[in-house]
Structure 1
Amino acid sequence: MMNSSLVPLNQSSTDVSNTTLPFCLLEAGYSYIFNTCLLEVTLILLLSVLIISGNLVVIFVFHCAPSPSQHTTTAFIQTMTYADLLVGVSCLFPSMSLLNHLQGLEPKLTCQVFGYLVSVLKSVSMLSLACVSVDRYIAVTRPLTYASLVSQCRVRCCIILIWLYSALIFMPSFMGWGKPGYHGDVVEWCAVQWKTHPAFTTFIVVMLYTPAALTVCFTYGNIFKICRQHTREISKRQARENDCSKNHFSHLSHKRYAMVLFRITSVFYILWLPYILYFLLESGGIFHHPAASFLTTWLAISNSFCNCLIYSLSNSAFRKGLKRLCSICDLENFERHPQIKCSIIIFYIVLLHLH
């Protein structure tokens, strides 16, 4: 049954009993014309469009104008981007649910599958960011042996492990351990009947959130510390050595690139912190509120758009790649780059499928 606090305040109980209303987590924004939670649908659809379009641009730039440097880091960033793109596509599910297009599906299985998929995708993003920080840490602390330590084969194996680990860690949600998150709470069964359990929540925090956060704090803390030390040492010897300027710019490049990735990681945890805190409070039976569940969930999911936004605005290699892509796509140069024509055709095919 629908909680009476979620029913529009200006509708009488008689009307409620005779009308099938969608389940709304927010008390405001109900539309009698469309018989839907208009505010929730608008927010989710807007976020979905931003996430899908933003990450498609990043993928397109990486594919058509790849940067020759930081190829291993780019592999992790691309993994994160594909995961974020799939998050945007999956966000169409709650929109269709609010628009009453999924009434024929079994509620329990639908909630479990959707919650599991979104949780896995966000776990891939989180672990990819942790791997990026480790990659940059090795590049700064082991510059001479970096190429041998971080090979293409090892990077591919690491990406496969990220997906496997993310898929396995949330598998207990199908075994009755509890709800892995609030991504499907716009569906009534997910919010009312699918409960969180302290044991499963603790398991996720210990096995995913905490190790990823500690890894990022350790690696970036040491990266900035080492970059500061190198910058001071190089500045002292700059007048005496001819090649110091080159080394100085190399360390500054490492620091600038680390700053971009640190911003992405910081925004990730800032947006996800309210969600994680509410997850812990609700699992412990301390606090529960439908609006807080909706707002913290979609604030966290908005990170899938913020990642591509920050990366595109802050990373000089990405901006150069975007400019290079624009120049290549110029009509005068179009015929000389058949691979770009093929990529554009694929791009439009993807857009048509998403539409």
Structure 2
Amino acid sequence: MNSSLVGNQSGRPFCLLAISYLETINFCLLEVVIIVFLMVLIISGNIIVIFVFHCAPLLNHHTTSYFIQTMAYADLLVGVSCLVPSLSLLHYPIVLSESLVCQIFGYVVSVLKSVSMASLACISIDRYIAITKPLTYNTLVTPWRLRICILTIWLYSCLVFLPSFHWGKPGYHGDVFQWCANSWNTDPYFTLFIVVMLYAPAAFIVCFTYFNIFRICQQHTKEINERRVRFSSQDGEAGEAQPCPDKRYAMVLFRITSVFYILWLPYIIYFLLESSNVYSNRVASFLTTWLAISNSFCNCVIYSLSNSVFQKGLKRLSGAICASCARQRVAKDSSTSRSKRSSNGCHV
């Protein structure tokens, strides 16, 4: 490993996207631009989501807000952790060895994305219970149980990827490091372990719950419309079709879940192909990895565009910021006018 690092330092920098290397710049330009751009978007977007949730009490009425905030904090930490590969690509000196840094980075990002995936599965279960058992929902889903569930998600995610330090690479988050790309190989049995313990159960839960949610909502909508038409015909008034009230909120969560799996599907497919020695390509590794990581920004965009209560909270937050800025300007102007008056008085 040391010899490869020495050779890398004396020659061209290690770049997964070879087209990004320029002779006049001694670092991987395109990789740095992509990672820094995603890092800024992820951090700024999720900070806004977290602040809006704290400033809009109506958003906290839904129990799913617990899981959405958990996803926002996990995605925010993903954006902060992207600083590590950025410094590596810029050849910033790191105290720890490259092998340990890339292993820790790969483990941390894998855990954080596992938290997001498990949170999406828990959100779908929560909505399924709310629709199938509305009368006993408040007794089944309590804040204390939600906190226990969130703690379990974090512990389970940490334990699932813990064997990666000795068993094999959990993913391609650390492939911007030369040691991770060349010396840290994937193990097909560990890949199967991750699929069985995380990917497959989460995907099955999401598909099962949302399929039944939309089926039940469709039945409820049909029954409500039939009753409305029957009563309106007796009263001589035209009845209008009313959608299921839970379906609109379920659609928001379904969009978030769908985008999550759409962005992660290329990464999972490549992960399976490379671990089974069917296909391996560094460019595909980099692109699929950071396409999956970009989901950390897409969550807040979808939620802000789809949820009306979130939009009101965002407007309230922006209004509060503008009001504070206006107050600061007024205070600054008044202080400058006072200083001018005092200076004029001294002159006299």
TM superposition score normalised by structure 2: 0.86
* TM-superposition CA deviations, 1:119-175 (whole Å, max 9, x none): 00000000000000000111111111110110001000000000000000000012x
Mark the CA change 1:61 to 1:17 in structure 2 (over 3 Å): closer, same or farther.
closer
Partner of 1:139: 130
Distance in 2 between the 1:185 and 1:69 partners?
A: 39
Question: In the TM superposition, what are the counterparts of 1:321-336 in structure 2 within 5 Å?
Answer: 321-329=313-321, 331=323
Q: Tell me the number of residue pairs that the alignment of Structure 1 and Structure 2 aligns.
A: 317
Distance in 2 between the 1:135 and 1:63 partners?
A: 21
Distance in 2 between the 1:72 and 1:260 partners?
A: 15
2:312 partner amino acid? K
Asked if 1 retains the 8 angstrom alpha-carbon contact of 2:59 and 2:310, the reply is no
Match of 1:32, SS?
A: coil
Percent identical among aligned pairs is 65
Asked if 1 retains the 8 angstrom alpha-carbon contact of 2:8 and 2:14, the reply is no
- Please point out which of 282, 286, 293 is paired with 1:294: 286
Partner of 2:106: 115
**Alpha-carbon offset, residue 112 of structure 1:** 1.2
Mark the CA change 1:66 to 1:34 in structure 2 (over 3 Å): closer, same or farther.
farther
Asked if 2 retains the 8 angstrom alpha-carbon contact of 1:116 and 1:171, the reply is yes
**Alpha-carbon offset, residue 239 of structure 1:** 4.1
Distance in 2 between the 1:53 and 1:81 partners?
A: 11
Partner of 2:236: none
Mark the CA change 1:17 to 1:102 in structure 2 (over 3 Å): closer, same or farther.
closer
Asked if 2 retains the 8 angstrom alpha-carbon contact of 1:59 and 1:81, the reply is yes
1:308 partner amino acid? C
- Please point out which of 116, 128, 148 is paired with 1:125: 116
Partner of 1:54: 45
1:256 partner amino acid? R
Distance in 1 between the 2:142 and 2:95 partners?
A: 48
Asked if 2 retains the 8 angstrom alpha-carbon contact of 1:61 and 1:322, the reply is yes
1:80 partner amino acid? M
Asked if 2 retains the 8 angstrom alpha-carbon contact of 1:278 and 1:293, the reply is yes
- Please point out which of 220, 229, 236 is paired with 1:230: 220
Distance in 1 between the 2:95 and 2:131 partners?
A: 54
Match of 1:212, SS?
A: helix
**Alpha-carbon offset, residue 241 of structure 1:** 5.5
Distance in 2 between the 1:98 and 1:105 partners?
A: 15
Asked if 1 retains the 8 angstrom alpha-carbon contact of 2:167 and 2:187, the reply is yes
* TM-superposition CA deviations, 1:48-68 (whole Å, max 9, x none): 000001111101100111325
Larger Rg: 2
Partner of 1:320: 312
Asked if 2 retains the 8 angstrom alpha-carbon contact of 1:328 and 1:334, the reply is no
Mark the CA change 1:137 to 1:330 in structure 2 (over 3 Å): closer, same or farther.
same
Asked if 2 retains the 8 angstrom alpha-carbon contact of 1:84 and 1:121, the reply is yes
Structure 1, unaligned stretches of length 5 or more?
3-15, 243-247, 336-355
Moved more, 92-101 or 231-240: 231-240
Question: In the TM superposition, what are the counterparts of 1:4-153 in structure 2 within 5 Å?
Answer: 19-68=10-59, 70-153=61-144
- Please point out which of 153, 156, 159 is paired with 2:150: 159
**Alpha-carbon offset, residue 325 of structure 1:** 2.5
Structure with greater proportional helix content: 2
Distance in 2 between the 1:300 and 1:18 partners?
A: 30
Question: In the TM superposition, what are the counterparts of 1:193-342 in structure 2 within 5 Å?
Answer: 193-240=183-230, 252-329=244-321, 331=323
**Alpha-carbon offset, residue 19 of structure 1:** 3.8
Asked if 1 retains the 8 angstrom alpha-carbon contact of 2:46 and 2:300, the reply is yes
**Alpha-carbon offset, residue 102 of structure 1:** 3.5
Asked if 1 retains the 8 angstrom alpha-carbon contact of 2:42 and 2:76, the reply is yes
**Alpha-carbon offset, residue 103 of structure 1:** 4.5
Distance in 2 between the 1:265 and 1:235 partners?
A: 29
Distance in 1 between the 2:125 and 2:297 partners?
A: 23
Asked if 1 retains the 8 angstrom alpha-carbon contact of 2:28 and 2:89, the reply is yes
Distance in 2 between the 1:275 and 1:80 partners?
A: 19
* TM-superposition CA deviations, 1:4-40 (whole Å, max 9, x none): xxxxxxxxxxxx9994332111110113333011011
Distance in 2 between the 1:152 and 1:47 partners?
A: 33
Asked if 2 retains the 8 angstrom alpha-carbon contact of 1:55 and 1:305, the reply is yes
Mark the CA change 1:18 to 1:220 in structure 2 (over 3 Å): closer, same or farther.
closer
Distance in 1 between the 2:294 and 2:321 partners?
A: 30
RMSD: 2.4
Match of 2:298, SS?
A: helix
1:65 partner amino acid? A
Question: In the TM superposition, what are the counterparts of 1:154-193 in structure 2 within 5 Å?
Answer: 154-174=145-165, 176-193=166-183
Asked if 1 retains the 8 angstrom alpha-carbon contact of 2:40 and 2:79, the reply is yes
Distance in 2 between the 1:177 and 1:202 partners?
A: 12
